[in-house]
Chain A
Amino acid sequence: MEFDPRIERYFDFELSENEREDFLRELELNSELKTQFDLYSLVIEGIRSEGREELKEYIKSRVDEQSTTTQTNLWFYAAASVTVLLLGYFAIYKYVETGSFKESADYITLKDEKSDRVKFWKNKKLGKSILPDILFGNKSDSTNAENHWTDSLLAVYSEPNVETQAEVDADETNIETTNPDYEVASDDQDKGTYQMNSRMSVSEGESAAPVMARPSASREKSKKSLASDTVELTRRTISTSRVVAIHLPGLSENVAPLGKSMPSNTQKVNPARFTIIQQEARNEKPAIECQGNNIFLINMGSESPLMYEIDGNFYLELGPKNIISIKLNVARVEKPKPITDKKIIEKIQPK
């Protein structure tokens, strides 16, 4: 039997009232038509069944998805709340400790006397909360020094001029008050120490007090620990009026200040001070601008530029094989090109 188009029209509600009545009447009498009708009835009901199941599944999955998202959000908000509370706690802690909310960046300078290299290391691992103790031995000692940890800019100290003094009154307070950019170190002569400078404010007139530090008790062990911590740290023979420990990972010794006694041949270091300021400026080409002791890196994006002093020249390490020479007497250098001097590169980024 040929397919009767009325069947489809019946299910599609396209038959008129009269047509529908005639069709239903015939359906009762015509078994073949009835069979066709049953088949189409089954097929259309099957399509609807599929649609129902598919839509139910859609609703279920969307509702599950949203409840999962809500749960995730709850966890997110819980975690965010904890973070905010912790940040609040530390902010208050800092305020109580130092009276300043600005303290946020810790930088350590390590200098190798032999190569005269100074590496400024952004201290990510040493938390501010432990640094004062580490750098200054104890809290009472750190009172003055802490005041220098007051901004988030990377301040760079170099020590181009090293003077030797037979005897210097190395009273710490004295040093800081009489010459803020002045640093005295004392240690056993000829024994390697590590010099660590720490950061300070860039505001005019505010003092910077780089602090000499070294691991004392087990120097060799400390050296290995530091070296393995990717910090390029080399030995230097200097003297310091105070000896404090550098608490780097792997270094367990925490050496308290050894007192104010000064060895006979104290070196006087008069650091030049630079501040590296990173700027992002629209429509400006990458450039380096030197204004006094401020070095502006304009659109020179680098996470934590390191500054080196080699043979009286200054270099900025912005990334692998991306070392820029800093000319302090040139106001602005546009599109600074990385240096190609293999010797310098090798020194800064040894293979």
Chain B
Amino acid sequence: MVREMQLNNTLNDEIIDRLHKGDREVLIDLYKEHEDMIKKFVRENNGKDEDAEDLLQDALVVLWQNSRKPDFKLESKPSTYIYAVVKNLWLKQLDKRKRVVSEEYIKPHQHSETPINNDMDLALVRNMLGEMGEVCQQILLMFYFDGFDMKTIAKANNLANSDVAKSKKHQCLKELASKVKSKFTSTDFYGV
């Protein structure tokens, strides 16, 4: 029992280490390792293999992003963690599907009061991001999505140091915000 725990810890440390280093291949290894398990779970819960594949990808993205948070610890086995995330995501999706069906029949045009960035807006931002220079794209993605620190970002983008990287990131973010703002009417965003 103790030996099994030690083995798990070693395995987890290795996975976390690879995640911290930004080794994306660890996600592929985890995907292959858990594919059957997740497909079985989803099939048993009214889903298809395609749903399972999508969920597993989502779960791994969550793991990737969370792994760089300072307080992240993989205390359970990776399979337990992934299973928990997938289960959570799948239940949310099922719930969402139910709500969509009921809303369509009961309140087809109800608006949420909470300002949520809708898919159209996000797609626009992504388009604008795609129009930016390669370095800007890399810096913004590495910082806001991957969660890398400025030192790593500086190194990866051949920038002198983390201060230069931070300054560059600020410029890029401001540029992207301006681009996005220009696509909206003056009443949507102003003052930027």
Contacts and interface: CB of A to CB of B under 8 A. Distances in A.
Interface of A: 1, 3, 8, 11-12, 32, 35-36, 38-56, 58-60, 62-63, 66
A62 B191 contact: no
B190 interface: yes
Interface in B37-62: 53-54, 57-58, 60-61
Contact of B28 (A1, A3, A40, A66): A66
B64 to A, nearest CB: 6
25 contacts: A3-B192, A11-B144, A32-B191, A38-B189, A42-B117, A42-B121, A42-B122, A43-B176, A43-B180, A44-B173, A45-B125, A46-B117, A46-B128, A49-B125, A50-B125, A50-B141, A51-B141, A51-B145, A52-B61, A52-B145, A56-B58, A58-B24, A59-B28, A59-B31, A60-B53
Contact of B144 (A38, A39, A51): A51
Which 5 pairs show the lowest CB-CB distances between chains A and B? A46-B125, A51-B145, A1-B191, A39-B189, A56-B57
Given A39-B177, A52-B145, A63 B125 contact: no
A39 B141 contact: no
Contacts of A51: 141, 144-146
A62 B24 CA distance: 10
Nearest to B176: A43
Max count, chain A CB within 10 A of own CB: residue among B124, B146, B192: B192
- The main secondary structure of chain A at its interface with chain B is helix
B24 A55 contact: yes
Given A3-B192, A42-B122, A46-B124, 9 more contacts: A12-B143, A32-B190, A35-B190, A36-B192, A49-B125, A51-B141, A59-B28, A59-B60, A66-B32
B118 to A, nearest CB: 9
A53 B58 CA distance: 9
B140 A47 contact: yes
B129 interface: yes
Given A35-B192, A59-B31, A43 B64 contact: no
A47 B115 contact: no
B32 A45 contact: no
Contact of B27 (A39, A42, A59): A59
Contacts of A35: 189-192
A43 B190 contact: no
Residue of A1, A42, A55, A63 most packed against chain B (CB within 10 A): A42
Interface string B54-76: 10011011001000000000000
